[in-house]
Amino acid sequence: MQRGELRSVLLDALPAGTVRWGHRVRAVRDRGAGRHELTLADGATRDTDVLVGADGAWSRIRPLLSDATPTYAGVTMVETYLDRDGEQHRAAAALVGGGTTLALAPGRGIMVHRERFGRLHAWAQMLVPPDWADGLDGTDPAATTARVAREYDGWDTALTALITGRGTPPVVRRIHTLPAGHRWERTPGVTLLGDAAHLQPPNGEGANVAMLDGAELGRALAAHPDDPEAALTEYERDLFPRAAAAATESDNYRRLFGDDAPHGLIADFDAAHRAAA
């Protein structure tokens, strides 16, 4: 499912006006007794009796609960979309077929998904220092493309065409992570979910786990309508082990781009195949 469609499914299930767009939280203050004051970007303030930090990797709410901040995970991705019929990447499009292609080498990978309407979604993924992308601020797409292409010097042009072909302007993403097993002491009136709680490098599960957190939190609040503290306690009791288990399963990058790439992933496929047989 495409992310935008999933987002529409979730938003359309809510009564109109539930989500108030354009209310960016700039600051949050503990007012004691489980209450918090939010200051919004326009300077307006709001008091909360239950505050859920669902605000992603760089959560403004997390510091109320924990000193943890995301650290660089060693991987930088450069993302682009290409139309199906682009002349320059016809050979690559044929390689991808109707699904996904992964081309893996030590420290480098190119991954491509076939998406809706035949579009190709391509990722160059590199184990590089955090300063690799310094200066690539999106204002000069050709400079970004050239820097990525240098990293794939000598690769088959059918694959590098996915980077150099005329796609959407490349977007650079430095991947960050919270410590595996990140947790906090129960603190009245506030909790976290999704990436705010347990940011991990992408492993195909982040959105699933975030939605599950939201569903479990909703269920706990509905089960204790007059006692949000009981609900938050129950929610966090299950959240921490669930998030820790998902994190230990997610050391994808060493497996995908480790020194023996692509054999780590091949071994995984073999093991899965044997388990299913």
Ligand X SMILES: Cc1cc2nc3c(=O)[nH]c(=O)nc-3n(C[C@H](O)[C@H](O)[C@H](O)COP(=O)(O)OP(=O)(O)OC[C@H]3O[C@@H](n4cnc5c(N)ncnc54)[C@H](O)[C@@H]3O)c2cc1C
Cα–Cα distance for residue pair 219/250, rounded to 1 Å:
27
- Residue selected from 208, 223, 237, 248 as contacting ligand X according to rule CB under 6 A: 208
**Least Å distance between CB 210 and ligand X?**
4
Going from the C-alpha of 124 to that of each of 3, 45, 47, 150, 259, the distances in angstroms are: 20, 42, 44, 12, 17
Residue 133: helix, strand or coil by DSSP?
A: helix
- Residue selected from 37, 83, 205, 251 as contacting ligand X according to rule CB under 6 A: 205
- Looking at the Cβ atoms of 158 and 172, the one nearer to ligand X is 172
- Binding residue count for ligand X, defined by CB under 6 A: 18
- Looking at the Cβ atoms of 75 and 159, the one nearer to ligand X is 75
Q: Is residue 173 part of the contact set for ligand X (CB under 6 A)?
A: yes
Sign of the alpha-carbon torsion through 15, 17, 19, 25: negative
Residues contacting residue 26 through CB under 8 Å, at least 6 positions apart: 39, 40, 41, 60
Cα–Cα distance for residue pair 262/79, rounded to 1 Å:
21
- Residue selected from 144, 206, 239, 253 as contacting ligand X according to rule CB under 6 A: 206
* Per-residue binding letters, 58-97, with ligand X (x by CB under 6 A): --x----------------x--------------------
**Residue numbers of the site for ligand X (CB under 6 A)?**
24-25, 54-56, 60, 77, 173, 194-196, 202, 204-208, 210
